[in-house]
Amino acid sequence: DAKHEKRFKTRSVNGTMAIAERVAEILMPTPRLVILRGEMGAGKTTLVKGIAAALGAADPEEVTSPTFTLVHEYQGTKVKIYHLDLYRLETERELATLGIEEMIAEPDALVLVEWGEKFPRVVEMANGEVAMENLGGDERLMVIGVK
Ligand code: ADP
Ligand code: MG
């Protein structure tokens, strides 16, 4: 039920980082909660590195996986990026403590959530999705859907 959908194929980490600029353009300027879908190693965190760089929020090497910390924040020139990874999160109660509602209520926030599809609450709040697929080797497919 995405209003529009865009597909990109990349053949390297640098390709994904470069495409991230286009992905950021599609996801902005409307602040959104975007679920980043895809198996481990699909390239979700790599895409966030590229988006953070494109939005002037962080250098790629500063962006690390929030697998254990759950939430990382990066202030960009126009928007603040919240990068979440819910892989290790198990309950709705833990989810509530993260304050995702408050994040999306901020006027200039872009909330990027890895493993957000685990929680119906997060799926409800999402207005965008990037589905990433490992096509083998260094090839990755990205399908971007925006509501
Ligand atoms: P995820 O967050 O989905 O688990 P990561 O971004 O942490 O994925 O890891 C992606 C892995 O795949 C990295 O080891 C990266 O070097 C590798 N990789 C190979 N080709 C690509 C590509 N085209 N785009 C993104 N990552 C790639
Ligand atoms: Mg990741």
Q: What is the pLDDT of residue 30?
A: 76
The answer on pLDDT for 1 being more than 60 is no
Instruction: Give the other-Cβ count within 10 Å of 93's Cβ.
Output: 8
Q: Mean pLDDT, to the nearest integer, of 43-49? A: 98
Asked if residue 44 has its Cβ within 6 Å of ligand 1, the reply is yes
Q: What is the pLDDT of residue 4?
A: 74
Q: Which ligand is nearest to the CA of 37?
A: 1
Instruction: Tokens 């962080």: give the residue.
Output: 58
Q: What is the pLDDT of residue 32?
A: 87
Q: Which ligand is nearest to the CA of 8?
A: 1
What separation in Å is there between the alpha carbon of 93 and the centre of ligand 1?
30
Q: Which residue has the higher pLDDT, 31 or 7?
A: 7
Determine contact, residues 45/69, Cβ cutoff 8 Å: no
Asked if residue 136 has its Cβ within 6 Å of ligand 1, the reply is no
CA distances from 17 to 38, 87, 131 (A): 17, 22, 15
Q: What is the pLDDT of residue 106?
A: 94
Q: What is the pLDDT of residue 5?
A: 87
- Which pLDDT tens digit goes with each residue over 70-126? 999 999 999 999 999 999 999 999 999 999 999 999 999 999 999 999 999 999 999
Considering only CA atoms, which of 122, 119, 90, 120 is closest in space to residue 104? 122
Q: Which residues contact 139 (CB under 8 A, 6 or more apart)?
A: 9, 10, 11
For ligand 1, pick from 8, 12, 13 the residue to mutate: most ligand atoms within 8 Å of CB: 13
Which residue has a Cα nearest atom 27 of ligand 1? 13
The answer on pLDDT for 29 being more than 80 is no
- Residue spans of beta strands (DSSP E) within the chain: 4-10, 33-37, 71-75, 80-85, 109-114, 128-136, 139-146
Is 3.40.50.880 the CATH classification of the domain at 4-146?
no
Scanning 28-73, the segments in alpha helix (DSSP H) are: 44-54
Averaged pLDDT of the chain: 94
Q: For residue 29, say if its preceding peptide bond is cis, omega within 30 degrees of 0.
A: yes
Q: What is the pLDDT of residue 31?
A: 65
Q: Which ligand is nearest to the CA of 85?
A: 2
Q: What is the pLDDT of residue 9?
A: 98
| Portion of the chain with pLDDT greater than 90, in percent | 88
Considering only CA atoms, which of 60, 92, 4, 132 is closest in space to residue 83? 60
Pairing of strands 128-136, 139-146: antiparallel
